[in-house]
Structure 1
Amino acid sequence: MIIQDLRELIVRPTLDALGMGGVTAENLVLGTGLVETGFRHLRQIRGPAIGFYQCEPATYRDILRYLERRPDLSARIAPLIAGEGMPDVSQLVWNLKFATAICRLHYWRKPGAIPDNIAGQAAYWKTHYNTALGRGTVEKYISCARPLTEGNYR
């Protein structure tokens, strides 16, 4: 997939609809997709995570509980859902805008501002998305997110 198309057609409109946009947030979400799957895989090879952002069903359920307590935020995400009510986790596989919203909401709940550079975002991803026990590394994120620094950053 072309990163600029993902940015302009999926990521930016989704984050803007949530009121959680900006280039820094866009780059973190795009970097997450690049390191997790390269926007090429929809299912974790040996694990439960699904979608381009590799969200685990348990994480998804936790985000839904978070949304239940925030009707204003639920109202902002509702237009991104296919159907009515909060969807089954499988929508993360085929609904790119909804999957992007869930990825952004995952980070939204974490402390601290999103760093404005790739190295800082790599560390933020490792701490808040991949976790200390995850197999991903800061170096892998930086390598995978290289397209964001090679002409497609903004």
Structure 2
Amino acid sequence: MNKAIKFQHEVIRPVLEKMHASNLAAEELLLGTAVQESLNFKYRRQMGNGPARSYFQMEPATHDDIWNNYLKYNARRAALVTSFLSSPDADKHDELENNDQYATAMARVHYMRVSEALPKQGDIEGQANYWKQYYNTPLGKGKPSEYIEKWHHYVLGSED
């Protein structure tokens, strides 16, 4: 089993199931996001000493915005996300970088804030465009073509 599929089965799927947010379209989008952002699970910290953390390369400012402007107003969802912390008083930024379950939950919540429906399962081009628009943002350096290329190489291929 390649690294990407292993991460999907061992981390993404169980997290989404515990969050009551499980579906294959969300799994694929999170997997594609992690593969694209971390170069197939190679980087937990942004290259060039940037602020982004975890395989999802979420910036602390984005993390904090999710807590301050979304989870703060959704106690049930906040409790689910908090349940992935290694301890109740854990440093959330450290957890973002080193706790794959917590980082996955935060990435899923990031996408939950988007009002547009997730692309359908198997629509990798749609997922790449969704990632670009709502995760990497139009100002980000990533390109949907890179996302698609990495999906084919690391997820569908056997590359580790």
Q: Determine if the TM-score, normalized by the shorter chain, exceeds 0.5.
A: yes
1:113 counterpart = 2:133: no
Q: Distance in 1 between matches of 2:90 and 2:81?
A: 9
Q: Distance in 1 between matches of 2:90 and 2:134?
A: 24
Partner residue in 1 for 2:151: 145
Partner residue in 2 for 1:81: 85
Unaligned runs of 5+ in 2: none
Unaligned runs of 5+ in 1: none
Q: How many Å apart are 1:115 and its aligned residue?
A: 0.7
Q: Distance in 2 between matches of 1:24 and 1:3?
A: 15
Q: Distance in 2 between matches of 1:89 and 1:50?
A: 8
Q: Distance in 1 between matches of 2:62 and 2:90?
A: 14
Picking from 40, 43, 46, the partner of 1:44 is: 46
**Structure 2 residue identity aligned to 1:48:** P
Q: Give the TM-score taking structure 1 as reference length.
A: 0.91
Whether the 8 Å contact between 1:64 and 1:86 is mirrored in structure 2 is: no
Q: How many Å apart are 1:89 and its aligned residue?
A: 0.8
Which deviates further from its counterpart, 139-148 or 84-93? 84-93
1:61 counterpart = 2:64: yes
Q: Distance in 1 between matches of 2:26 and 2:157?
A: 18
Q: How many Å apart are 1:76 and its aligned residue?
A: 1.6
Runs of 4+ in structure 1 off by over 6 angstroms are none
Q: How many Å apart are 1:16 and its aligned residue?
A: 1.1
Identity across aligned pairs (percent)?
34
Structure 1 residues 67 and 86: CA distance shift in structure 2, 3 A: farther
Matched positions, count: 151
1:11 counterpart = 2:17: no
Q: How many Å apart are 1:2 and its aligned residue?
A: 1.6
Picking from 123, 146, 149, the partner of 2:129 is: 123
Structure 1 SS opposite 2:93: coil
Partner residue in 2 for 1:104: 108
**Structure 1 residue identity aligned to 2:24:** V
Q: Distance in 2 between matches of 1:127 and 1:141?
A: 12
**Structure 2 residue identity aligned to 1:36:** E
